[in-house]
Structure formats: structure tokens, C-alpha cells
């Protein structure tokens, strides 16, 4: 099992403000890596660096090395479309397109060139099954995605991300806007997907990190304080800040 993500000495600035300080972190294939830390500490910023979604912000500047699936993704000539196909992103608030359920899931494959109806039908069904949504929507694929409940919409977004067959799945607090039952479903999903996919999940919920992840990384004020096997981090943290955060002294 090799490293699929290797970040070395990553610094990031939003204009004048430095948001990430010399982050070095790696993720191995098939694992679930949780990113925890107080609000505004840079976890989401770090996550978005991995599929270059930070590029959308005009004042952003990056230094350091980010190697994903063997490629330096910030090199000149990096194909963004291919990167984002291989590294999927699930957002904090579900954002389905104002189209049918089918069209939502089929969009990814379509823009990457898949035109055959039979193939698309297959991909849509597979992705919805993987996201544990197929049984609930199989009779109404043509209905608007906006009619689904919050939890269903988020699973639809996961299906949508899976439809382009990524290797890595980035999840930015995927369950934070959901009720406990929907959250449990998402966590079950992560347990099923791990191994086949490498998952990096940002979460505010430490119990969630404890439940779903193999390894955990603790961020604070834009720096990586500590990372390691999840149970070690939570039972025997090396750094004081980690200890303080985990015991609820701040954040």
C-alpha cells in the first residue's frame, strides 16, 4: 500500500494572510484519514489544496510540494479536469444541480466524454447503489434532485462524486448539516467505501473521527500539530494542544 497523497512543506496565503504553515502530511492508499481541529484552522483549506479547488480564489498563493497519485499537481501543464476526476470532493452543504436525480449523477461521466446511454444508465445505478441511495430513488430517477431530503441530497452528491470513478474522496464535514440518522448513514457509507477509495474527511465531530478513521491529523492555526493512528491520538496524544483540544479545553 503506497502513499497516494504526499504533502511536503505546504504554505498557503490568501493575499497577505498566511493560512497554512509548512504542512507535511501523507495519506496511504485505502485508508480513512480524519482532519480535526478548531474552526478556521485550515483543515478545509488544506483539503481543497488536494484537488486545486483553492485555485478558484484569485488571491491564493501556494508554496511547497503536493504530490497526488504520483503527480506534482501544481506543476505547469497539470490537467485540472483529470485531477478533479481522480480526486472527488463532497461539500459541507449538499449542492445537487437543479436537475433530475439521473442527470445529477450522469453529469460527471458525460463531461468526461461518456455518451452512450447504456453505459450511463449502468454508471448511474452503480453509483447510486454505492452511495446507498438506489433503493430509495430507483423509481423516480427523473424527479428533481431538489425534492430529496437533506440526507438523501448529500448521498446523491456522494453518488455524483463516485460516478467519475475517483481514487481519492475528499469530504468536507459531509454530515455537519444533517440529522443524527442521516449522519449515521454517511458514516456507514464511509466504512463501506474505505479500502477501495482513500478518504480524507474534515470533521468537527471528534466522536465521528474516532468512529470512521484509521488515522487522524490535528490542525491548529494553520499548522499541523500532530498526526497518527486514530486511537493513539485520542488516548495518548503527544502534544499539549492536541490534548487540550480533545479534552474540550478549546475549539
Partner 1 sequence: MKQKERVHLNGGEMLFRVAAALSFLLCIATLGAMAADLVVSGGGRIGWQFLTGVSSRLPDRAGVLPALAGTVWVTGVAMIVALPLGVGAAVYLEELCRRGRLSRILEIFISNLAGVPAILFGMVGLQIFVRWCGLGRTVIAGALTMALVVLPLIILVSREAIRAVPRDIREASLALGASKMQTIWYQVIPAALPGILTGAILGVCRIIGEAAPLLALGALTYLTKTPTGLNSPFTTLPIQIFNWISRPQIGFHRNAAAAIIVLLFLLFLLNVTAIIIRARSQSSR
Query: Rule CB under 8 A: which residues touch partner 1?
Result: 51, 53, 56, 58, 80-85, 88-89, 91, 93, 95-99, 107-108, 111-112, 144, 146, 157, 160-161, 164
In the block, which residue shows the cell 456507514? Answer: 188
Q: Closest CB to partner 1 among 70 and 98?
A: 98
CA pair distance 191, 119, nearest whole angstrom: 27
| Widest distance between CA atoms in the chain | 56
Q: How far is the CB of 2 from partner 1 (least distance, A)?
A: 23
CA pair distance 117, 127, nearest whole angstrom: 15
Which grid coordinates are listed for 117? 446511454
Residue 227 bridge partners (DSSP) = 217
Which grid coordinates are listed for 75? 506543476
CA pair distance 140, 92, nearest whole angstrom: 25
CA pair distance 223, 235, nearest whole angstrom: 21
CA pair distance 129, 234, nearest whole angstrom: 33
Q: How far is the CB of 57 from partner 1 (least distance, A)?
A: 11
CA pair distance 58, 13, nearest whole angstrom: 11
Q: Are strands 87-90 and 215-220 parallel, antiparallel or unpaired?
A: unpaired
Q: How far is the CB of 234 from partner 1 (least distance, A)?
A: 31
Q: Closest CB to partner 1 among 161 and 246?
A: 161
Q: How far is the CB of 247 from partner 1 (least distance, A)?
A: 35
Q: How far is the CB of 85 from partner 1 (least distance, A)?
A: 4
Q: How far is the CB of 129 from partner 1 (least distance, A)?
A: 19
In 3D space, the residue among 224, 164, 196, 212 whose CA is nearest the CA of residue 1 turns out to be 196
Q: Closest CB to partner 1 among 79 and 122?
A: 79
Q: Closest CB to partner 1 among 110 and 194?
A: 110
| 197 in Cβ contact with 166 (< 8 Å) | yes
Q: Closest CB to partner 1 among 58 and 70?
A: 58
Q: Closest CB to partner 1 among 33 and 157?
A: 157
Q: Closest CB to partner 1 among 123 and 246?
A: 123
Amino acid at each position: 500500500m503506497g502513499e497516494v497523497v504526499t504533502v511536503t512543506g505546504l504554505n498557503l496565503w490568501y493575499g497577505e494572510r498566511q493560512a497554512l504553515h509548512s504542512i507535511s502530511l501523507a495519506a496511504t492508499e485505502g485508508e480513512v484519514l480524519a482532519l480535526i481541529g478548531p474552526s478556521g484552522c485550515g483543515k478545509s483549506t488544506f483539503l481543497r489544496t488536494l484537488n486545486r479547488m483553492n485555485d478558484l480564489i484569485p488571491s491564493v498563493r501556494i508554496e511547497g510540494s503536493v504530490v497526488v497519485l504520483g503527480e506534482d499537481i501544481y506543476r505547469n501543464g497539470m490537467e485540472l479536469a483529470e485531477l478533479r476526476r481522480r480526486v472527488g470532493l463532497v461539500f459541507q452543504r449538499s449542492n445537487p444541480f437543479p436537475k433530475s436525480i439521473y442527470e445529477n449523477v450522469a453529469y460527471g461521466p458525460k463531461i468526461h466524454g461518456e455518451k452512450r446511454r447504456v453505459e450511463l444508465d449502468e454508471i448511474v445505478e452503480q453509483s447510486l447503489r454505492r452511495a446507498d441511495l438506489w433503493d430509495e430513488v430507483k423509481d423516480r430517477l427523473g424527479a428533481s434532485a431538489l425534492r430529496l431530503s437533506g440526507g438523501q441530497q448529500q448521498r446523491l452528491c456522494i453518488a455524483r462524486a463516485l460516478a467519475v470513478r475517483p481514487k481519492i474522496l475528499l469530504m468536507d464535514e459531509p454530515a455537519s448539516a444533517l440529522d443524527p440518522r442521516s449522519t449515521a448513514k454517511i458514516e456507514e457509507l464511509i466504512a463501506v467505501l474505505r479500502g477501495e477509495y482513500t478518504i480524507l474527511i474534515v470533521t468537527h465531530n471528534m466522536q465521528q473521527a474516532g468512529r470512521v478513521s484509521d488515522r487522524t491529523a490535528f490542525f491548529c492555526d494553520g499548522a499541523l500539530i500532530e498526526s497518527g493512528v486514530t486511537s493513539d491520538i485520542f488516548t495518548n496524544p503527544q502534544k499539549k494542544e492536541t490534548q487540550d483540544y480533545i479534552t474540550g479545553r478549546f475549539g
